[in-house]
C-alpha cells in the first residue's frame, strides 16, 4: 500500500465535479479546486483573495451535511469555509492565524479554535 502524498504535493485536478460527487473523506492523491465544483458559490471562489498562497481554495471532506474547503496551509494563515450541501446559501467561515483563529460556527457562537468550530458543524 502506498502512502498518501503530503497535501502540499498533491496536484490539483480540474475535472468538473458535481456536489454529489464530492467524497465524504479526504482525497489522498490529489486536490479538488473550488473552480472545478459546478455549484461553487462566489464566497468560496474568493476565499483565498486575501491570502498570498498562489493556490486556489480546495476541497477537504464532508462534515455531516457540510462540505469543508480550505484556502492556505494546514497551519498558518488559512481560511476555511463549510457550505451546507443541501442549502448552498448557508455557509460558515473560519480564519486561521497560526494555531488560533476565529469564526462563527453552525451553532451561532464565535469560536477561536478550529476544532470547536468544526465540531459545531455536527448535529
Going from N- to C-terminal start, the domains of the chain cover 30-119
SS3 category, 111: strand
pTM: 0.94
pLDDT in tens, 13-27: 999 999 999 999 999
Q: How far apart are the C-alpha atoms of 72 and 89, rounded to whole Å?
A: 23
Q: How far apart are the C-alpha atoms of 110 and 101, rounded to whole Å?
A: 10
Q: How far apart are the C-alpha atoms of 110 and 16, rounded to whole Å?
A: 34
N-terminal to C-terminal alpha carbon distance within the chain:
34
pLDDT of residue 16: 98
pLDDT of residue 4: 78
Specify the pairing of strand 110-111 against strand 100-104: antiparallel
pLDDT in tens, 24-73: 999 999 999 999 999 999 999 999 999 988 899 999 999 999 999 999 99
SS3 category, 17: strand
Q: How far apart are the C-alpha atoms of 21 and 5, rounded to whole Å?
A: 22
Q: Is pLDDT of 75 > 90?
A: no
pLDDT of residue 2: 65
Q: Which of 54, 67, 86, 76 is nearest to 26 (CA)?
A: 67
Find the helix or strand (DSSP H, E) in which 93 lies.
strand 91-98
Amino acid at each position: 500500500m502506498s502512502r498518501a502524498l503530503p497535501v502540499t504535493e498533491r496536484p490539483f485536478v480540474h475535472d468538473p465535479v458535481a456536489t454529489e460527487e464530492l467524497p465524504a473523506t479526504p482525497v489522498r492523491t490529489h486536490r479538488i479546486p473550488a473552480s472545478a465544483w459546478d455549484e461553487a458559490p462566489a464566497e468560496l471562489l474568493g476565499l483565498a483573495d486575501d491570502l498570498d498562497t498562489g493556490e486556489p481554495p480546495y476541497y477537504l471532506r464532508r462534515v455531516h451535511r457540510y462540505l469543508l474547503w480550505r484556502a492556505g496551509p494546514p497551519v498558518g494563515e488559512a481560511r476555511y469555509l463549510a457550505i451546507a450541501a443541501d442549502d448552498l446559501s448557508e455557509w460558515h467561515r473560519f480564519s486561521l492565524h497560526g494555531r488560533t483563529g476565529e469564526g462563527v460556527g453552525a451553532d451561532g457562537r464565535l469560536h477561536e479554535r478550529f476544532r470547536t468550530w468544526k465540531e459545531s458543524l455536527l448535529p
